Amino acid sequence: MSQITIRSPKHCAEKQVLRIERNYKKLFFVFSSFFTTLLLFLLLVYLIIHPSKPEFSLTQVDIYQLNLSGPKLNSSIQLTLVSKNPNQKVAIYYDEFQVYATYKGQQITGDTPVLPFYQSHEESNLLTASLVGNGVPVAPSIGYELGRDQSAGKLVLNLKVNGKLRWKVGTWVSGHYRFNVNCISVMALEPSMTSTPLSSKQGAQCSITI
């Protein structure tokens, strides 16, 4: 004589819930394993490639104008930069590149854009920019600082770059990374800058943050 087992609807519902929970756990495990593997792969690629920061150096600075007109400063500066990609396997896309000058912590020129460019492995590029500031409002202390620098015969300018770059490895291209470059130029300063422009051809390394 066979035994007949009758299961209540509540018992069947509980089994269905357990089955759904198991399926969700399996899916969660599959997706977790996939993303973990992907992250480990990207980390491995980064550790293998590990792109070094690009290198910048300031080769020449010419100041054609730097004078105060009341509380405003007029300036005209020409500079030459060398940009180098030290990586053997990583190329660089410079999608945004803007240059400007500061004096005593204050920006004295407008942002001058440099056209986007591509930099291959271990390639160097010569970049020039003309920086102009017409009637830039400055703090009253700037006049005093200029006078003091004229007495000391030395002028210190900061030439800066802000921009965005992307790394390229093979056919893979990264997302955008912001970078900032700071170059310091120390120039001999004459009492008057009306006859000839100030010029400095002393090479200077620049710092970069990404």
Structure confidence by residue, pLDDT tens digits, 119-131: 999 999 999 999 9
* pLDDT confidence band for 195 (50 / 70 / 90): very low
Rounded to 5 degrees, φ, ψ at 155 are -120, 130
Question: What's the pLDDT score for residue 37?
Answer: 79
- Residue 78 in tokens: 């020409």
Query: Percentage of the chain surpassing pLDDT 90?
Result: 44
3-state SS of the chain? CCCCCCCCHHHHHHHHHHHHHHHHHHHHHHHHHHHHHHHHHHHHHHHHHCCCCCEEEEEEEEEEEEEEECCEEEEEEEEEEEEECCCCCCEEEEEEEEEEEEECCEECCCCEECCCEEECCCCEEEEEEEEEEEEEECCCHHHHHHHHHHHHCEEEEEEEEEEEEEEEECCEECCCEEEEEEEEEEEECCCCCCCCCEEECCCEECEEEC
Are residues 128 and 77 part of one domain? yes
List the Cα angle 83/88/90 in 5-degree steps.
75
Please tell me the predicted confidence (pLDDT) of residue 194.
46
Query: Would residue 146 count as lying in a domain?
Result: yes
Same domain, 17 and 72: no
| Residues 26, 83 share a domain | no
Q: Is residue 3 assigned to a domain? A: no
Q: Does the residue 27 lie in any domain? A: yes
Residue 19 has a pLDDT of 64
Domain that holds residue 27: 8-50
User: At CA 161, angle to CA 82 and CA 129, rounded to 5?
Assistant: 60
Q: How many domains does the chain have?
A: 2
User: Are 81 and 172 contained in the same domain?
Assistant: yes
% of the chain surpassing 70 pLDDT: 77
Q: What's residue 2's pLDDT?
A: 47
pLDDT of residue 4: 46
Same domain as 144, residue 72 = yes
User: pLDDT tens digits, residue range 7-59?
Assistant: 555 555 555 655 666 666 776 677 777 777 777 776 666 656 678 999 999 99
Residues 66, 143 within the same domain? yes
| Domain co-membership, 13 together with 97 | no
Instruction: Supply the CATH number for residue 131's domain.
Output: 2.60.40
Condensed to tens digits (0 to 9), the pLDDT of residues 138-182 reads 888 888 888 888 888 888 899 999 999 999 988 888 889 999 999
Q: Is residue 35 part of a domain?
A: yes
